[in-house]
Structure 1
Amino acid sequence: MRIPKDGLWHAAQLHACIRSKSCRRRLNVLPMRTHKDTNLLLDTTLPSYIIAGSFQSPGELVNFTYKKVQFHGGDALVPFLQRFLKKNSLSFHQLGGIIVAQGPGSFTAVRLGIVVAAALAYSLHIPVVGVPLPKTEEPVGRREIQQRMRTLIAKGIRKKPGSYKNLRAVYGKPPNITQSKELIKTQ
């Protein structure tokens, strides 16, 4: 992969370079700037938290925040993301990509995170990566949440950035929403 003469990178070029060992070695000595170098992290898989973070390419956690919510936080997610971006002097249009936790977790919470990430990726024309995280207990404090964000970044930058169409949720157990039609007929 060739390094741009002006040092400006697009998010897709940067992700491709991160995967190339020779390109990474060359980047260690070159200053790097990107057009859209801030990426959004989103995790809604924990039972009573929504977590947002941002990182600069190639994987340095810049900031994160979390909010304790009741019942999946559906009505709180988008305003929470808006406040997070505003607090960090960012807008949705400045994002270069999104990494979202795919689960396992609550059906509604996981779907909510996936749908919001897919909608943002679609509307902003940016790549999105879904990452399954190990199922964990509730984090005790800021340090555990920070470690979770770093894990999300580490797994996310190793995956090929994709389209919003490729996001799939990991629920951890079969969804239990309604009874199947066959089951209803036999009763």
Structure 2
Amino acid sequence: MSITPPTPARRSARVALVSTVSLGLLAGPIAMATPAAADSKSADCIVKALKPKVHDRDNGGYKKGERKYVKVEFEFKIRCDKDAKVHFEQKMFQKDGNWKVDQIDKDKGNVWVHRHESVVNVVKVYDRDRHDKFEKVFHTVKIRVEKKDRYGNWAKWSDFDKSPVAKIYVPNGRY
């Protein structure tokens, strides 16, 4: 029985096998480090915009030369499945009639959420029209969770909510 020399196809297969094994040995420590990074996925968070209400220490008021106003609390709650840094954008609106909506204020910022967090913004709501004592207000909130990658990039906007419309009494009188 004679031993035949390997053909060129077998030689290239043997070289390919050796190179993949050596790459696997080099990439082993890198592969061992990636599961730890995969476990630190960003948290899943939801936002709930609550119905606006009159600030409990405020009965309405005005300064000389200023329209009547009431301070209104625009509150929203953020809930996360684990601790996370959440970026929010909130816009407060005042309805005038059926079609006209005016933005009265906005706020944005970061908050550390430990399972759940409540954020309250107090805004002055002015008397828009002299014939009605009630003003209709609502707000919208959107959030996104900070990614846990090495660049510190923010994720896309993950949740959005709009509050119910609230009728707020604004003391209407002569001044």
Alignment TM class, shorter chain as reference: under 0.3
Relative to total residues, which structure has the larger helix share, 1 or 2?
1
Report which of the two structures shows the higher radius of gyration computed on alpha carbons: 2
TM normalised by structure 1 equals: 0.24
Question: Which fold has the larger relative contact order, with Cα–Cα distance below 8 Å and residues 6 or more apart in sequence?
Answer: 2
